[in-house]
A = this chain, B = another copy of it.
Amino acid sequence: MTTRELTYVKAFNEGMHQMMASDPDVFLIGEDVAGYGGVFHMFDGLLTEFGDRRVKDTPIAEQAIIGLGVGAAARGLRPVCDLMFMDFIGVAMDQIFNQAAKMKYMFGGAVSVPLTITTAGGGGMSAAAQHSQSLEAWLAHIPGLKVAMPASPYDAKGLIVGAIRDDNPTIVVLNKKMLGVKGLVPEELYGIPMGVANVVREGTDVTIVAIARMVVEATKAAKELEAEGISVEVIDPRTVQPLDTDTIVTSVKKTHRALIVHEAVEFGGIGAEISSQIQESAFDYLDAPVARLAAPFSPVPYAPILENAYMPDAARIAAKVRALVERS
């Protein structure tokens, strides 16, 4: 039960290593995941340890990459298919939403598709409009799919393990800007099941539901606000599908105020669903409208000065919380 500091990407990588060691049915395919170990080092060392039968570089062909995973999973293997950047999902969407996600249902339950898709999302790298997106709202809207978004090294390991063990098609979205973030990670193999939120920090005045890297920013804001006498509870849903509504609603019934924060554009983002669920389930407890803080309705801009303004951060989160508290 040794626990030590690891970066987010190393924690993820350790989860991959341990799952591949523990289950011979797990294999990995994707662009430059083998020889190069993945452009983000996510898959470092896997080729060396597990060989080129189980770790394979593919042509640039995302429909075939995901589709191969669907077919192999339907035959009982546990494929991990990497989609280098989340933004590339548009070329493989059919295999994800019409095939992987629907197969079980369309076939009356006759098959399971234990496929894991890994990808990297989020902005902050000056990678511009086609390499910075957060598209989890699309994925969460697809019955049959599960969607994990680790916000710490501990979760990066636990959620990739949980995803591979899950018998359903699951997408694990790493956050690019968190790759080097450090945190405590147990050495042994552990999995976090899909659908269990993490109460990152307890508080009594306002509930912040934050997604992916915004958990870090929200936690920063919460610390800042504590000094001002505002007690903030920070909840990380960990998976946006399934969503742990119970944990969120229970918190809001206690705090009476809620703010949802994510990197994706606000309109039609997962924050809209969370906000709706909160007000549907805790309407009589609310002292203020459920608030959202997210990106403005534009593609992600390239210039750092614009991108910084585009992404929510601790300062803007804190301001939004103050407004919520003052409102009521």
Instruction: Flag if B273 contacts A283 (CB, 8 Å).
Output: no
Q: Which of B63, B106, B275, B298 contacts A272 (CB 8 A)?
A: B275
Given A141-B267, A268-B270, A299 contacting B102 (CB threshold 8 A): yes
Q: Min CB distance, A255 to chain B, in Å?
A: 16
Q: Which of A30-38, A150-158, A180-188, A289-297 contacts B (4 or more CB under 8 A)?
A: A289-297
Instruction: Flag if B105 contacts A129 (CB, 8 Å).
Output: yes
Given A141-B269, A276-B272, A280-B289, A106 contacting B128 (CB threshold 8 A): yes
Does A24 lie at the interface of the complex (its beta carbon under 8 Å from any beta carbon of B)?
no
CA distance A40 to B242 in the complex (A): 37
Given A94-B90, A98-B130, A137-B137, A291 contacting B299 (CB threshold 8 A): no
Instruction: Flag if B90 contacts A268 (CB, 8 Å).
Output: no
Does A91 lie at the interface of the complex (its beta carbon under 8 Å from any beta carbon of B)?
yes
Does A312 lie at the interface of the complex (its beta carbon under 8 Å from any beta carbon of B)?
no
Q: Min CB distance, A288 to chain B, in Å?
A: 7
Size class of A's contact patch? 35 or more
CA distance A144 to B289 in the complex (A): 28
Does A224 lie at the interface of the complex (its beta carbon under 8 Å from any beta carbon of B)?
no
Interface residues of A in 63-103 (CB under 8 A from B): 63, 87-91, 93-98, 101-102
CA distance A94 to B85 in the complex (A): 13
- Which residues of B lie under 8 Å from residue A95 when comparing CB positions? 90
- Which residues of B lie under 8 Å from residue A299 when comparing CB positions? 101-102, 105-106, 143-144
Q: Min CB distance, A59 to chain B, in Å?
A: 17
Does A140 lie at the interface of the complex (its beta carbon under 8 Å from any beta carbon of B)?
yes
CA distance A74 to B264 in the complex (A): 27
Does A265 lie at the interface of the complex (its beta carbon under 8 Å from any beta carbon of B)?
yes
A290 to chain B: closest residue by CB: B279
Instruction: Type the 1/0 row for A109-145, where 1 means its CB is closer than 8 Å to any CB of B.
Output: 0000000000000000000111000010110110110
Instruction: Flag if A129 contacts B141 (CB, 8 Å).
Output: no
CA distance A136 to B124 in the complex (A): 28
Q: Which of B97, B268, B271, B288 contacts A140 (CB 8 A)?
A: B268
Interface residues of A in 247-283 (CB under 8 A from B): 264-265, 267-273, 275-276, 279-280, 283
Residues of A at the B interface (CB closer than 8 Å) are 63, 87-91, 93-98, 101-102, 105-106, 128-130, 135, 137-138, 140-141, 143-144, 241, 243, 264-265, 267-273, 275-276, 279-280, 283, 286, 288-292, 297-299, 301
25 residue pairs from A and B, CB less than 8 Å apart: A88-B94, A90-B93, A90-B94, A91-B93, A91-B94, A101-B299, A102-B130, A102-B299, A106-B129, A106-B299, A137-B138, A137-B268, A138-B138, A140-B267, A141-B264, A141-B265, A141-B268, A143-B298, A144-B298, A268-B272, A272-B275, A275-B275, A276-B276, A279-B279, A279-B289
